Amino acid sequence: MIESRRRTASAGPPPDDGSDGPAAPAASQEPVPGRPDRPRPAGTRLARTRRRRRGRRLLVVTATVAGVVGGGGMAGWMASRPPGDVGSLTAGATPAASQGPAAFASSTRTGAAAATASPSPSTDAQAIQRRRPTAVAAASLGISAPVTVASVEATTHALNVPVDPATLGWWAGGGAPGASSGTVVIAGHVDYNGRPGALYPLNRVDVGALIVVTSADGTKHDYRVVTRRHVVKTKLADTGVFRTDGPPRLALITCGGAFNTATHSYRDNLIVLALPV
């Protein structure tokens, strides 16, 4: 619940004269020499000033509430214009047809499920298990989040990210940190049910920022950001981000762009690409 103003315990109920606090002490009733002894009219400058101040404060509060309850989108996301897109989605990889999920969706399960996409034949399953990401950190953004395995819907081919916005999901059908090829795809909610997600500040990441991915064996893998771009969700599969081949790279994906209050969803996906250091 948002309060439009604060009051002390002893302040008592607000006055009904249009002011923001306790009523001002009554003016002295003693006549002022040279002036008629008559009460101040209701439309004086003081009363008008109080009404204007109150109106301005209520406007600020109303705008803040509108941002918070805008269909589930976080107010801070649109509080100020984020940096524009920079870099290419083909950075670090040769163009090829998409081989991965067509989109990513909210999982109704909190537990990790095995991805339905199969690794390439040359992949060592045990090595993948040792290398699977368990945490992502970006100190410049204050990001530090655990990572679990995300499943892929058999019919829609959507990547199921964890329902907990503080946890990220890894596409097991793609690359693993430390592998010699493939894109490490890790996705998560920007927010969920009014809670900011782990990737909420991702839209402000700078090119050159350091991202550290920790594997199950404890190895830390450093990446530097080269790309930050928004794409319409329906075009995600056409970006070539979901790769099992090509040079190694990291892709962090979340939601972004305009928020649709009717569908309670964002228009775009935000993709951040980073290359191993």
Helix (H) or strand (E) holding 157: none
pLDDT digits 0-9 by tens, 8-43: 444 444 444 444 444 444 444 444 444 445 555 555
Domain boundaries, the chain: 85-276
CA-nearest of 177, 200, 203 to 188 is: 200
The torsion angle over the Cα atoms of residues 160, 249, 212 and 195, rounded to 10 degrees, is -30
pLDDT digits 0-9 by tens, 201-221: 999 999 999 999 999 999 999
Can you give the pLDDT at residue 271?
A: 97
The answer to whether the CB of 189 falls within 8 A of the CB of 202 is no
The answer to whether the CB of 46 falls within 8 A of the CB of 57 is no
Q: Which residues of 17-28 are buried (b: 16+ CB within 10 A; e: fewer)?
A: ebbeeeeeeeee
Can you give the pLDDT at residue 126?
A: 77
CA angle 258, 70, 252 (to 5 degrees): 45
The answer to whether the CB of 271 falls within 8 A of the CB of 89 is yes
CA-nearest of 189, 185, 181 to 171 is: 185
pLDDT digits 0-9 by tens, 102-148: 555 543 332 222 333 444 444 567 777 888 999 999 999 999 999 99
Quick one: tokens of 97? 């047809």
User: Can you tell me the distance from the alpha carbon of 75 to that of 205, in angstroms, rounded to the nearest whole number?
Assistant: 19
Can you give the pLDDT at residue 82?
A: 60
CA-nearest of 249, 69, 205, 219 to 134 is: 219
Q: At 158, is the pLDDT very low, low, confident or very high (cuts 50, 70, 90)? A: confident
Bridge partners, residue 266, by sequence: 259
Please provide residue 101's backbone torsions phi and psi, each rounded to the nearest 5 degrees.
-60, 150
Can you give the pLDDT at residue 127?
A: 74
pLDDT digits 0-9 by tens, 230-274: 999 999 988 999 989 999 999 999 999 999 999 889 999 999 999
Give me the CATH code for the 85-276 domain, please: 2.40.260.10
pLDDT digits 0-9 by tens, 53-94: 544 443 333 222 222 223 345 544 444 456 678 888 876 655
User: Can you tell me the distance from the alpha carbon of 272 to that of 70, in angstroms, rounded to the nearest whole number?
Assistant: 26
User: Can you tell me the distance from the alpha carbon of 221 to that of 51, in angstroms, rounded to the nearest whole number?
Assistant: 59
Which carries the bigger pLDDT value, residue 194 or residue 148?
Answer: 148
> Does 46 score more than 60 pLDDT?
no
User: Can you tell me the distance from the alpha carbon of 1 to that of 45, in angstroms, rounded to the nearest whole number?
Assistant: 34
CA-nearest of 90, 66, 86, 88 to 78 is: 66
> Does 3 score more than 60 pLDDT?
no
User: Can you tell me the distance from the alpha carbon of 225 to that of 211, in angstroms, rounded to the nearest whole number?
Assistant: 7
Can you give the pLDDT at residue 150?
A: 94
> Does 276 score more than 50 pLDDT?
yes
The answer to whether the CB of 133 falls within 8 A of the CB of 177 is yes
Please provide residue 63's backbone torsions phi and psi, each rounded to the nearest 5 degrees.
-65, -40
